[in-house]
Structure 1
Amino acid sequence: MRKLLITGASGFLGWHLCQIAKQNWQVYGTYCSHDLEIPGINLIKLNLTDFAELKQIFQEIQPDAVIHTAARSQPNFCQTHPEESHLVNVIASCNIAGLCADYQIPCAFTSTDLVFDGLNAPYKETDAVCPVNIYGEQKVLAEIGMLERYPMTAVCRMPLMFGNATPTATSFIQPFIEILTAGKELNLFIDEFRTPASADTAAQGLLLALEKVHGIIHLGGKERISRYDFGRLLVEVFQLPETGLKGCRQQDVKMAAPRPADVSLDSSQAFILGYKPLSIKEELEAIKSIEVNT
């Protein structure tokens, strides 16, 4: 089997990607601080910001392809720790692209819909980037740097992602479910719009892009939806108490990182290639069925 190196295997997306990729690849997954075991995956502790360590991993594994999901992906953290997050989000990403260029192997990178300012959605791959926070800025720098080092890189702009909890990570729906189940109030934005996709769907998109894309591709879901309306679907599918679900506006919540209002992605290019997200309701029903059976 071909060898696939996945960075960030302990992260939410990385863990789900490992589960799907291991069906067709011999998977090597890296982690930094969250020690874990994933059946069928060769796990390696790696500090991505140490180039000598990174280079040694490439020499030892001799991967046939790389998917780089590891990141400091919390916008508020990046806003308050710009230098620390830059090392991971920009420098390490560019170094990975450089090593993939040296080995002449396919490389896919997880960027974000937050490279846009939210004023002209839905966004196509050709639209100008204009991030409003440091995390978005760092991802733009990584996109540019990686494609300069290795134009064959598949730069995958990822949407808001959700799914079943992993041993080391949750998505945003787990705390939502807990809050509503406890009868507490959950305030969700009525004026923030995204094109969400499940982690499993996003992982399938990444594997597709790894094989078929050179340059930028959008891997958003099929539907543009507000956080609040997403919450309503969650209530419906998981049969949660809806009395606690309240709508609010972005301006009502103070956060370190500014947030764009609408970064919905036009993912029609990916759909043409065979990327097939389900509807959000179908995605949530699939997640619920897994939770019921585990």
Structure 2
Amino acid sequence: MQKLLITGASGFLGWNLCQVAAPAWEIYGTYFSRSTPIAGTTLLKVDLRQFQDLKNLFQTVRPDAVIHLAAQARLDRCQQEPEDSHLLNVTLAGNVAGLCADFAIPCVFTSTDQVFDGLNPPYRETDPVSPIQRYGEQKALAETEVLNRYPKTAVCRMPLMFGAVPPTASSFLQPFIQTLREGKELNLFVDEIRTPVSGTTAARGLLLALQTVQGLLHLGGRERISRYDFGRLMVEVLDLPATGIKPSRQQDFETSAPRPPDVSLDSSKAFALGYNPLSLREELSQLKGNV
């Protein structure tokens, strides 16, 4: 079997990707501080910020392909710690792409729908980036850096993601569910629109991109939905208490990093390649009993 190197394997998307990819690949996954066993994956502790350590990783594993997920994805953390997050989100991404170019192997880099300002949705790959917060700015810079270093890279812009999680990570779904089960109030935005997918679906999209794509690709879901309406659907499908869900607006809450209102992705290009997200109702139904 060919070797697939996945950076950030202990995170939400990495954990899902390792499981989806396991039947077809010999998987090596990196982590930094927290690790949990993943069936079919050899986990390696590496400080990817250290270029020599990253280079040694490539020379030791000799991967046939790389999917680079490791990043600082917390919007407020990026806003508050710009230098540290730039090192992870921009410098590291460029270094990974450069090493993939040196080894002449397929590379996937995960970007985000946050590279857009949310004012002209839905967004296609050809639309200009327009980030409004530091995380989006860093990912937009990383896209340019990665493609300059290695034009054959598949740069996949990811939507809001949810699903089952390892002990080392979380999706937005788990805190929602816990809040409702504890009988607490859950404020969800009616004015933040996304195109969410499950971690499993996202993982399948990344593996498809690895085999078929060079350049930009959007991996959003088929449905545009607000966080509030997603919460209502979640309550219905997962049989959760509904009384705690309250509609709210972004302006009602102060955050360090601004949130764009509607970063829905037009993923027609991916759909034409065979990317096939289920409906959100189907995705949530498959999670029943596992979240």
Q: Please report the TM-score for the alignment, with normalisation by the length of structure 2.
A: 0.99
Aligned partners of 1:229 and 1:165: how far apart in 2? 22
- Match in the other structure for 1:231: 231
User: 8 Å contact 2:222–2:279 — kept in the other structure?
Assistant: yes
Aligned partners of 1:65 and 1:78: how far apart in 2? 28
- Do the aligned partners of residues 289 and 182 (structure 1) sit closer, same or farther apart at CA in structure 2, a change above 3 Å counting? closer
Does residue 281 of structure 2 align to residue 255 of structure 1? no
- Match in the other structure for 1:31: 31
Aligned partners of 1:176 and 1:290: how far apart in 2? 14
SS in 1 for 2:288: helix
- Match in the other structure for 2:120: 120
> How much does 1:23 deviate?
0.9
Q: Give every structure 1 segment of 4 or more consecutive aligned residues whose post-TM-superposition deviation is greater than 2 Å.
A: none
> How much does 1:72 deviate?
0.2
For residues 132-281 of structure 1, the aligned pairs below 5 Å read 132-281=132-281
1:109-162 Cα deviation digits (max 9, x unpaired): 110000000000000000000000000000001100000000000000000000
Aligned partners of 1:254 and 1:215: how far apart in 2? 36
Amino acid at match of 1:270: A
SS in 2 for 1:241: coil
- Match in the other structure for 1:6: 6
> How much does 1:289 deviate?
4.7
Aligned partners of 2:182 and 2:47: how far apart in 1? 39
Deviates more, 1:35-44 or 1:10-19: 35-44
1:6-48 Cα deviation digits (max 9, x unpaired): 0000100000000011110000000011132212211111111
Amino acid at match of 1:21: A
- Match in the other structure for 2:109: 109
SS in 2 for 1:33: coil
RMSD: 0.7
SS in 2 for 1:43: strand
Aligned partners of 1:145 and 1:213: how far apart in 2? 18
User: 8 Å contact 2:154–2:216 — kept in the other structure?
Assistant: yes
Aligned partners of 1:86 and 1:250: how far apart in 2? 26
> How much does 1:167 deviate?
2.2
- Match in the other structure for 1:87: 87
SS in 2 for 1:108: strand
> How much does 1:243 deviate?
1.0
- Do the aligned partners of residues 290 and 181 (structure 1) sit closer, same or farther apart at CA in structure 2, a change above 3 Å counting? closer
SS in 1 for 2:177: helix
SS in 2 for 1:52: helix
> How much does 1:165 deviate?
2.1
User: 8 Å contact 2:36–2:166 — kept in the other structure?
Assistant: no
Aligned partners of 1:221 and 1:64: how far apart in 2? 29
For residues 36-115 of structure 1, the aligned pairs below 5 Å read 36-115=36-115
Aligned partners of 2:174 and 2:112: how far apart in 1? 21
